Amino acid sequence: MIYHEIGNTGISISEIGFGTIPILSGSQEILSHYYNLREQIAINLIKEAFDHGITFFDTAVIPEYGDAERKLGLAFKEDRDKVIISSKARAFTRKSMEIAIETSLRNLSMDYIDIYFIHQIQPKVIESALDEDYGAIKALIDAKKKGYIREIGVGVHYANLAAVLSTHCHISVIQLPYNILETGLYNSAVEIAPDIKKKIIFHKVFGGGVLTPHFPINNLIKFALEESPLSIIVGIGTKLELLEIISAYKEKVMIPNDEFIFANESSFLCNRCQKCKCHHGIRISHILRYRAYFLLGFNRWAHQQWSDELKLEHCSNGCKDCITTCPRHIDIPKLISETNFIFNNFGGFNEKR
């Protein structure tokens, strides 16, 4: 296993990071095939990953991670100083971030957390989150001074925000989604701020599990590592998955799968470069991502995301202002209209996983 230091922080993380969503117990419906890993099984799995050289474990205090923090804490009760733990919260104010850090420390039963992320920071909250009196950043800076956390990170799904945040003096590391079919967000961020490369951890390398039935794990891992991130976080829920991942990582070769990529590219026409502009506030790359995940078999998750936030009725096919801004010349309004039709007529059906 190769380890990379985050800047000059003295924190080195393994190239493969252990994502803890799959170890949770609970009733979350999004990744139903992963749920209800019993405590001892989860602890054994985490320890076995450590035995294989994985020293970076990523968790969160948010509901999607269930009891993962607690299980992680139990696994490293004796070996705290041998691992790097990161956690995160969808908390954007000083107060809410203070509460989140306290809760994470309690859940983990640890004195400190190595990296704490502001999770899924968005354009509408960035200004308040970075307010050095009342924003989440204030709580993180204070927590760092007190020794509760060692470094500050952000998780972000917007290329332009990632670029801006990568230059922030208090932010040491950025988590971005990146995988074989979703390369655009990272590449757009690099175009704006090339030095972001030194601070990058990729997540969604398996697309939250949607890509593993479609691509060899070797290829997903190798493809992401070619960009030389500090680490790639992959969800691990079974011993078999762990062994497959370790073996794929050691092999470091790609299995020829051009035909496979080609076959699935029709689902992923959009690579999330986010260069398209919609003056009506439609989050085009998000919608097209839900469409792709739906077509690749994550029906329920995609439909839920779509139902929660999209206002497709505001996209008029007559407008078409966005088309000229897409480097791939995607007929965005047509695809959005199709997506609307798919979700209205087939949402929640045909769940493959």
Amino acid at site 133: D
| Dist. CA 279–CA 319, nearest whole Å | 10
Of residues 185 and 217, the one with the C-beta less far from ligand SF4: 185
- Residue 63 burial class via C-beta count within 10 angstroms: exposed 0-12, middle 13-18, buried 19 and up: exposed
| Dist. CA 206–CA 233, nearest whole Å | 9
Rounded to a whole number of angstroms, the minimum distance from the CB of residue 318 to ligand SF4 is 8
Rounded to a whole number of angstroms, the minimum distance from the CB of residue 208 to ligand SF4 is 18
| Dist. CA 166–CA 153, nearest whole Å | 9
Rounded to a whole number of angstroms, the minimum distance from the CB of residue 183 to ligand SF4 is 10
| Dist. CA 216–CA 260, nearest whole Å | 10
List the beta bridge partners of residue 14.
Answer: 3
Of residues 9 and 317, the one with the C-beta less far from ligand SF4: 317
Query: Which residues in this chain contact ligand SF4 in the complex, by CB under 6 A?
Result: 184, 270-276, 278, 280, 282, 284-285, 288, 315-316, 319-322, 326, 328, 330, 332-333, 336
Rounded to a whole number of angstroms, the minimum distance from the CB of residue 311 to ligand SF4 is 10
List the beta bridge partners of residue 116.
Answer: 87, 152
Of residues 125 and 330, the one with the C-beta less far from ligand SF4: 330
Of residues 141 and 330, the one with the C-beta less far from ligand SF4: 330
Rounded to a whole number of angstroms, the minimum distance from the CB of residue 336 to ligand SF4 is 6
Of residues 130 and 159, the one with the C-beta less far from ligand SF4: 159
Pairing of strands 3-5, 12-14: antiparallel
| Dist. CA 163–CA 156, nearest whole Å | 10
